[in-house]
């Protein structure tokens, strides 16, 4: 989630066929939703949420390792043909609430505060902005349907980078 900027429901809906190890991409094309009596996998709410997102080599290696480890674990437990990246022993989707609890426990073990699953997406955006990505690049990476949405949510972060922009200009001109 951190390296892709995807939402929790999108991550939990991923299947291994969505991951292209050759091109280092993940296809975000569905989401996990809560319904009466459980969960379901369905199309995202907006067409702009459907996209192929590039990932770095290290993240792809971690995903490949997870795929191998998951297959071993599932095979030991008598489960075969599971295409889901995140699933239970019964090949059922993991609920967002279970995912949340897992992250809370991991944060506690690491001794860091956890601000929720969506904060991971916001952190992804913040890092992009601090790294110098344009508003348009952030919009496309997060798959917002409109740049206005991105600006409404993250414009305060661009205010901080405006000061750095002036400093870059002055440093370039004066040096």
Question: Looking at the predicted structure, is the pLDDT value of residue 3 above 90?
Answer: yes
pLDDT digits (tens, 9 = 90+) for 118-142: 999 999 998 998 888 888 999 999 9
- What is the assigned CATH class of domain 1-95? mainly alpha
Cα separation, 108 vs 43, in Å, equals 33
Domain coordinates of the chain in residue numbers?
A: 1-95, 114-175
pLDDT, tens digit, for every residue of 80-117? Answer: 777 999 988 778 888 899 999 999 999 999 999 999 99
Locus of tokens 């590039």: 54
Categorize the per-residue pLDDT at 4 as very low, low, confident or very high, splitting at 50, 70 and 90: very high
Neighbour tally for 49: CB within 10 Å: 19
pLDDT tens for each residue of 14-65: 999 999 999 999 999 999 998 888 889 999 888 999 999 999 999 999 999 9
């Amino acid at each position: 989630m951190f390296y892709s900027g995807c939402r929790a429901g999108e991550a939990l809906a991923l299947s291994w066929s969505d991951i292209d190890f050759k091109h280092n991409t993940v296809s975000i094309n569905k989401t996990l939703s809560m319904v009466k009596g459980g969960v379901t996998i369905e199309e995202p709410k907006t067409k702009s949420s459907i996209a192929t997102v590039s990932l770095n080599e290290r993240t792809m290696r971690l995903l490949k390792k997870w795929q191998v480890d998951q297959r071993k674990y599932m095979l030991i437990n008598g489960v075969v043909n599971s295409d889901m990246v995140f699933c239970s022993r019964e090949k059922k989707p993991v609920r967002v609430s279970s995912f949340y609890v897992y992250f809370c426990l991991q944060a506690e073990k690491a001794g860091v505060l956890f601000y929720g699953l969506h904060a991971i997406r916001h952190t992804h955006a913040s890092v992009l902005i601090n790294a110098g990505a344009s508003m348009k690049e952030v919009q496309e990476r997060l798959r917002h349907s409109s740049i206005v949405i991105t600006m409404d949510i993250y414009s305060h972060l661009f205010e901080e980078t405006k000061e750095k922009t002036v400093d870059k200009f002055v440093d370039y001109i004066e040096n």
